[in-house]
Structure 1
Amino acid sequence: MDREEMKSVENTENSATTDVAYEVPSVALAMSILKLLSRYKTQSCTLTEISKRTHASKTTCLRVLRTLARGDFIRYDKVSRCYSLGAYLIPLGNRASQMVSGVSEVMLELPRLAEKVGETVMLLERLPEDAVIVLAKAAPSSEVARADVSIGQLFAGLGGAFGRCFLAYDAPSAWRKHWMKMTATGDRVAKMWSSQETFYEALETTRRVGAAVSHGEMAAGFSSVAVPLFASDGSVALVLAVLLLTSQYQEERGKAMIRILQQTAERWRGLF
């Protein structure tokens, strides 16, 4: 390969990581299908359902599905005629968790943290489309009824305590943009705030205190307590949160949870 060819390849690689318009349709569709099947409510879908939800033709979807199936990224059930995630994603996910800076170390500590707070704890990441995904979770060993969540579960938008822990550290212009998006789509989170000003005040409080608490924002009957996890450059890398039934929440208990989460977040600072 000559110098000009090498320069061309380098430019292509750079644009692939910086230009949001750069996209290979078949790869984009494959990613959409995997994300769709990773969600609890759509973990098993027919070809028709996949085509409808990804806005792609059945023929195109079938080609991508068969390619993914050959690599064991998805599997097909001939009886139900449904597609679901394949077994190869298990070691792939485990390997990814080991390679992502800090995540593997944190995952080992989550069970101890869950025992300490007495509720389900979650490690969450913000996705580009302003959704939040559960990277890891742990629950205490007691058999008391409690809130639960699945690894890989997606929360649309940036509502709830954990969503505010991400959004609070954005620029105010991003707050306005997010509020307009919520109100335009009729988001249930927006309906829970009396005004745009009170929503902004909650974000300012989250930023000042370094924690957030919410009740019923993401789902009726559920509460969350969350704190941001900062990267070495001061940006919010992930969020550490507790998910519990609102009926089990008490203000003093919530304050104790915040203290425990913030102490933990300080120890983990810069890991990500």
Structure 2
Amino acid sequence: MTVSNRSLSRGLAIVRVFNEIPSPSLTEISTRVNLTKATCLRFLRTLQDEGYVGHDEETKRYQLRPLVLELGYAALSSLSLPLMAESEMEVLADAVGGSVHLGLLEGDEVVVVARSIASLETRKLVTMNIHVGSRLPAHCSAMGRMLISQSDDIDAYVAGMKISQMTSKTLVHRGKLAKEMKETRKRGWSLVEEDLGIGYSAIGTLVEAGAQQYGLAVSVNTKDYSREKLVKDVLPLLSAAADRLQRAFRHGSP
């Protein structure tokens, strides 16, 4: 990594601390990013000079400034599909009594960019602590497997992945995982049964929005949905929703 790239990486790591601690002190920032206080202070002063960070002289704590919202708005405007998907995902979540997630692949993880949960009247499961911005291990999530299956070289991708045993049922054997990804690509949908969390199953498919690929997945209570029931009852609803989202994106309207 070059000096400039390392500096950028450190600066971004400092900004991410504010996602965990809204008003961190210099000590808290230093501890979180594992850098000296002097190094952190240099980055913070640059962020202050650029208008992205403020400093309270009384409390000695830092806060993000409104200017940082411009970056957020720019990111959202480039991700139009999550905004289009909201109503479609709500209907799907209510139909199955579960939760629906839309995600992007980043390395070994899937970043959740949209989420909908079934209403209290139709909900059949206690949802996992997943929200927009959450990062899930790609190898054991339906979204992740679907997206990895689109890789030009699945074997190489899986060989280089970080694989964690999330539950007793997580598939961690790289050869078997690569085989599952290849089968996923052929059939056009992915399925995990308690790989990410005990009591949860999920089925996923692909949504293509121009050059960007998203994973769309439905999570349900395992005791209510067998593998057969997921494929028979949920997959058609999921596939239809994905098709509608792709058409909506092509025509530029939800």
Specify if TM > 0.5.
yes
5+ long unaligned stretches in structure 2: none
How many percent of aligned residue pairs carry the same amino acid? 23
| d(CA) in 2 for partners of 1:167, 1:132 | 10
Which of 135, 154, 176 is matched with 2:135 structurally? 154
Q: Distance in 2 between matches of 1:178 and 1:35?
A: 28
Report the alpha carbon displacement of residue 213 of structure 1 after superposing the two structures with TM.
Answer: 1.2
Q: CA deviation at 1:23?
A: 4.0
The one-letter code of the counterpart of 2:92 is L
Superposition map of 1:34-45 within 5 A: 34-38=15-19, 42-43=20-21
Name structure 1 gaps, 5 residues minimum: 1-19
Secondary structure of the residue aligned to 1:103 is helix
Give, as a single letter, the amino acid of the residue that structure 2 aligns with 1:112: V
Contact 1:132/1:158 (<8 A) preserved:
no
Q: TM-score under structure 2 normalisation? A: 0.74
Q: Structure 1 pair 209/246, CA: closer, same or farther in 2 (3 Å)?
A: same
Aligned length: 242
Distance in structure 2 (CA, Å) of the matches to 1:91 and 1:59: 28
Output aligned runs, 1:1-272, within 5 Å.
Answer: 23-38=4-19, 42-43=20-21, 47-48=26-27, 50-65=29-44, 68=47, 71=51, 93=72, 96-127=75-106, 129-142=107-120, 144=123, 145-148=125-128, 149-172=130-153, 174-182=154-162, 187-188=164-165, 192-193=170-171, 195-232=173-210, 237-255=213-231, 256-269=233-246, 271=249
Any idea what SS the aligned residue of 2:162 has? Answer: helix
Equivalent position amino acid for 1:100 in 2: L
TM-score under structure 1 normalisation? 0.70
1: CA distance, partners of 2:28 / 2:225: 39
AA matched with 2:238: L
Q: 1:167 Cα deviation (Å)? A: 0.9
1:152 Cα deviation from its structure 2 partner: 0.6
In 2, distance between residues paired with 1:194 and 1:268? 32
Corresponding residue SS for 1:182: coil
Counterpart-to-counterpart distance in 1, 2:55 and 2:203: 37
RMSD of aligned alpha carbons: 3.7
Q: Deviations over 1:247-268 (max 9, x none)?
A: 4433344122221111111222
**1:123 partner letter:** L
TM-fit CA distance, 1:91: 7.2
Determine if contact 2:96/2:220 at 8 Å carries over to the other structure.
no
